[in-house]
Amino acid sequence: MDHMLRRRVGRTDLTLPLLGFGGATLGDAAGPTSEAQALATIEAAWNAGISYFDTSPWYGNGKSELRFGAVLRAKPRDSYVLTTKVGRVYAPRTSPDHPSQTRWRGGLPFQPRFDYTRAGVLRSYEQSLLRLGIERVDALLIHDLDPGHQGSEEGAAARLRELEEGGGYQALAELKAGGAIQAIGAGINRLGMIPQFLARFDIDFFLVAMPYTLLDQGALVEELPLCARRGASVVIGAPFASGILAAAPSAPSTYGYQPPPEPVLARAARIRAVADRYGVPLGAVALQFVLAHHIVASVIPGPSAPEQVRANLAWMRHPIPADVWAELKSQGLLHSAAPVPGEAR
């Protein structure tokens, strides 16, 4: 696959290249990554022609945004797509034990509070521009509005009301109508939220992390068809299921940002065995699979070192025999209706 080919986002004028760069890893969840390595990783992506960068205030409590800004503000602004997220506003930390400090062990000493009101969305947007040092972003995504992050189904429902009745979504719509941004997105980590968003709001695209990978095609049943009917695109985050589909066979790995349970390890091993029989890297199968769905505009793995950028590029280009997809389906390792590369889009 040509990683520089572009696809349109929903019904907007925004287009994205097939391969982008997800910024969560540059928030240093596992501990500090040197500034030199982080900036070199972004530069390596830029030099390879990667021109779509996604970040968030949440990633490292501002650290990811600062790093992307350090590199990208020296580049011509019209030569790349930059997206970030809203839903949290930041202040200096009041406690070293705040959950944001333990989530991002290499992150910055600031702590967030959720705020999906008009004031909160606009404040989050302004803070992001200041951290980036860049005067505009191409899209803003509503971040972490789900039961996991809000504590319960009721908590998520209350935040959806806040986004709607408190003017947060209207603020995004006004930014789009005024040309400050080109698209409105929402980040999704679990099934069930896409229908709730689309019942209330016009969302141009969803950033889907985890429910559509080689290991889980749950979004294929309801979420992705609903997006297609509503004219919303999808960007795939965490295409390696947070690590397990990119790690070496004997290396420690994660699934959903946690140690993988035994059934997941076993399923991943079976998928790897099929790829190995055809001499295909598992990472290539993972990246190219998700791009076969017609509503997927881009995939954004999160490299944290230049060699990972090079690996992603190699995996995008690696030829995959049609028999790989056929065998994965025949063994029940892929949903029978899942689109695969080589089929008509």
30 inside domain: yes
Whether 209 shows a pLDDT value over 80: the answer reads: yes
Cα(2)–Cα(143) distance, rounded to whole angstroms? Answer: 29
Tell me: pLDDT of 5 over 90.
yes
pLDDT of residue 42: 98
CATH number, domain of 321, equals 3.20.20.100
pLDDT category of residue 345 using cuts at 50, 70 and 90? low
Give the pLDDT band of residue 76 (cuts 50, 70, 90).
very high
**Tens of pLDDT along 242-276?**
899 998 887 778 898 888 999 999 999 999 999 99
Which pLDDT score, from 0 to 100, does residue 30 have? 84
Q: Which of the four pLDDT bands, split at 50, 70 and 90, describes residue 65?
A: very high
Residue 233 lies in a domain: yes
Helix, strand or coil, per DSSP, at residue 164? helix
Question: Which residues participate in catalysis according to the annotation?
Answer: 54, 59, 85
Residue 302 placed within a domain: yes
What average pLDDT is seen over the chain? 96
Provide the domain limits for residue 76. 6-330
Identify whether 344 is part of a domain.
Answer: no
Please indicate, yes or no, if residue 45 is contained in any of the structural domains. yes
84 neighbors 137 (Cβ within 8 angstroms): yes
> Has residue 340 been placed in a domain?
no
Mean pLDDT of 61-65: 98
* Residue pLDDT, tens place only, 133-162: 999 999 999 999 999 999 999 999 999 999
Q: Which whole-number Å values give the CA distances from 152 to 1, 113, 161, 219, 315, in the listed order? A: 41, 17, 14, 21, 38
pLDDT of residue 344: 58
Q: How buried is residue 211: exposed, middle or buried, by Cβ count under 10 Å (0-12/13-18/19+)?
A: buried
Residue 10 lies in a domain: yes
Backbone angles phi, psi at 195, to 5 degrees: -60, -35
pLDDT of residue 190: 92
Number of domains in the chain: 1
Is residue 274 in some structural domain? yes
